[in-house]
């Protein structure tokens, strides 16, 4: 499982991770940015251990993020009577 959002509260991370700690389960991967550092540190404080950090080989960490796509247009459809 790959998560691209850090939980809003550290306890959510602990509950999900504990559930995946059963034999035969793969560990979760969490994609984080430097902006997520405070929450990662709070999670580590709850766990009382450091979370392993890895970098993805071949990823240019200095490249600019691509622009976000425009949100879809919200059109209201009138009912035909």
| Gap between the Cα atoms of 36 and 65, Å rounded | 16
Lowest mean pLDDT among 13-17, 18-22, 33-37, 62-66: 18-22
pLDDT tens sequence across 29-47? 788 888 889 988 998 898 8
pLDDT (tens digit, 9 = 90+) per residue, 21-30? 555 666 677 8
- Give the Cα separation of 70 and 18 in Å (integer): 37
Q: Residue 11 phi/psi, 5° resolution?
A: -60, -30
C-beta separation of 30 from 1 below 8 A: no
pTM (two decimals)? 0.58
């Amino acid at each position: 499982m790959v998560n691209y959002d850090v939980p809003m509260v550290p306890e959510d991370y602990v509950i999900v991770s504990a559930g995946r700690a059963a034999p035969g389960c793969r560990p979760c991967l969490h994609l984080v940015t430097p902006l997520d550092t405070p929450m990662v540190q709070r999670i580590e404080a709850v766990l009382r251990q450091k979370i392993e950090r890895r970098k993805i080989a071949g990823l240019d960490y200095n490249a600019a993020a691509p622009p976000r796509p425009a949100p879809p247009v919200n059109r209201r459809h009138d009912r035909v009577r």
